[in-house]
Amino acid sequence: MGNIQTTRAGELPLTSKERRLLLRRQFTISGLIAVLTVVAGFAIRVNQYVLAGGHVTTEHYAEVRSPTVGTVAEIVGQSGQTVTQGEILVRLSCAEERATLDEARSQVQKAEAELNRREAEIVEQKRRLNEDIAVSTLRMHNATSRLARTRELFAKGLVAGTLMEDDQLKEALAKAEFMSLTNRDLSVFDKELTVLRREFEARREVAARAEVNVRAKEIHAPIAGQIVRYEFVVGELVRPDTVMYEIFGGDKKIIKLRVLERHATKVAVGNRYVAKLGSYRGLKSIWFEGQVEYLRNVIQSDGQSTYRVAYCSFDTMGHSVPPGATAEAKIYCGRTCLWFFLFGVD
C-alpha cells in the first residue's frame, strides 16, 4: 500500500511524512530569519533626531515696539538703514506733552530769575547793613567819648548839667541804634532763599518729568544694526504690542529653532543639527550644519503650540543668507536602535 505508481515521467510526489518535514524546515528557517531580524534591529544603532523649525538671524537682534499708545508723527528709520544704539527711529505726536514742557520750562525760568533777583537784593541789604553797623559803631564810640569829657568838665563845674544830660541821651541813642542793627535776625534771609530754592527745584522736577513724557514719544533703536521696517504710516495709531521694526546687529549669524515642548528635554547644548533653508530649496537642497549653543529655560507658546527656543551656531558656507530666512532642521540628540527609531519609541 505504500508504493505509488504513475504513468508520467518525473519526480514522485512527496509523501505526507516528507511534507511535514519540509514544512517544519520552512517554519524553522522563517523563525530563525525573524529572530535574526529582530536581534539585528536592536543591534543596529541609528542617529535619533527631533524636527525643529525656525529662522536665520544675527547675533544681536531686537524688535522695536512703541512704548506707549500714540499716533505716528514722523518716520525717521527706513528699511536697510544702519543705525546706532539710541538713534531715533520714529516720533509720535506729542503736541500736548510739548506744550506742558514749554510751560514748565517757562516756570523754571521765572523761578530762577526770582531767586537770582532776591539773592542780589539780599547781598545788597547785607552790604548796607554792614555799612550802617560801621557808622553806628563810630557814632556810639564818639558819643561815649564825648559823654566822658562832659562828665569830667561837669565834675569841675565847667559845664551845666543839662549839657551832660544831652550827651547821656545821645550815647543811649547811639547804643540803641547799634544794638538794633547788630541784633537784626539775618536768618530770615536764609529762610527766604531756602523757600525760593525749593520752589525752583520743584519746578525743575516738573520740567524734567515733562521732558521725559516728550522723550517717551520718541522711539529709539535699542541696539546698533540694520533695520527692517514693518508696514505703518504717518497718522497711524500704534500700541505697545505693535512691532514696528526689527534690528539685526553683529556680523555673526545664528539660527533660532523652535523645539516642541514634548521634545524639549531631549535637546541639549552641543547637539549637532542639519538644516535646509527656504531660500536654498531646489532640485539639490543645501544642508547647513552647526550645533546648539544655548537653550532658553522658558517654555513659550504661540497659539496652540508650545516650544522651547534653541540658539544654534550657523555657517553660511560662503552663501549669501539674508536674516529672516526660514529653516527646517533636524537636531540630533543621541543614538537609538533601529526598531525604536522606526516606530518612534522614545
pLDDT of residue 195: 93
Half-sphere exposure of 304 (CA within 13 A, CB side): 0
247 Cβ neighbours under 8 A, 6+ residues apart: 60, 61, 62, 63, 64, 83, 221, 222, 223, 224, 225, 226, 227, 228
95 Cβ neighbours under 8 A, 6+ residues apart: none
If 0-12 CB within 10 Å is exposed, 13-18 middle and 19+ buried, where does residue 316 land? exposed
Percentage of the chain exceeding pLDDT 70: 89
User: What tens digit of pLDDT does each residue of 241-298 get?
Assistant: 888 998 888 878 889 999 998 888 888 999 999 999 888 776 677 889 999 998 888 8
Question: What gap in Å lies between CA 103 and CA 196, rounded to an integer?
Answer: 19
pTM of the model: 0.55
pLDDT band at 26 (very low <50, low <70, confident <90, very high): confident
pLDDT of residue 329: 92
Check residues 333 and 42 and name the one with the higher pLDDT: 333
Question: Residue 228 belongs to what H/E stretch?
Answer: strand 225-229
Question: Residue 161 belongs to what H/E stretch?
Answer: helix 161-182
Check residues 346 and 237 and name the one with the higher pLDDT: 237
For 15, which DSSP code? P
The grid coordinates of residue 192 equal 527766604
Cβ contact 309:300 at 8 Å: yes
User: What tens digit of pLDDT does each residue of 188-240 get?
Assistant: 888 999 999 999 999 999 999 999 999 889 999 999 988 888 889 999 999 98
Give the chain's length. 346
Lowest mean pLDDT among 51-65, 82-96, 157-171, 220-234: 157-171
pLDDT band at 321 (very low <50, low <70, confident <90, very high): confident
Cβ contact 210:230 at 8 Å: no
Percentage of the chain exceeding pLDDT 90: 38
Burial 88-127 (b: 16+ CB within 10 A, else e): ebbbbbbeebeebbeebbebbeebeeebeeeeeebeeeee
Lowest mean pLDDT among 46-50, 164-168, 181-185, 301-305: 46-50
Question: What gap in Å lies between CA 228 and CA 72, rounded to an integer?
Answer: 17
pLDDT of residue 85: 92
Count Cβ atoms below 10 Å from residue 21 Cβ, excluding itself.
Answer: 12
Mean pLDDT over the full length of the chain: 85
pLDDT band at 346 (very low <50, low <70, confident <90, very high): low
Checking if the pLDDT of 299 tops 90, the result is no
Checking if the pLDDT of 335 tops 90, the result is no
Looking at residue 301, its amino acid is S
Nearest Cα to 73, choosing from 222, 210, 238? Answer: 238
Q: Packing angle between helix 95-155 and helix 161-182, nearest 10 degrees?
A: 160
Annotate 78-110 with DSSP letters as a single string: -TT-EE-TT-EEEEE--HHHHHHHHHHHHHHHH
Check residues 315 and 346 and name the one with the higher pLDDT: 315
Strand, helix or coil for residue 335: strand
User: What tens digit of pLDDT does each residue of 133-183 get?
Assistant: 999 999 999 989 988 888 888 888 777 888 888 888 988 998 999 898 888
pLDDT of residue 1: 45
Nearest Cα to 336, choosing from 273, 287, 276, 266? Answer: 266
Nearest Cα to 94, choosing from 204, 221, 244, 218? Answer: 218
pLDDT of residue 6: 53
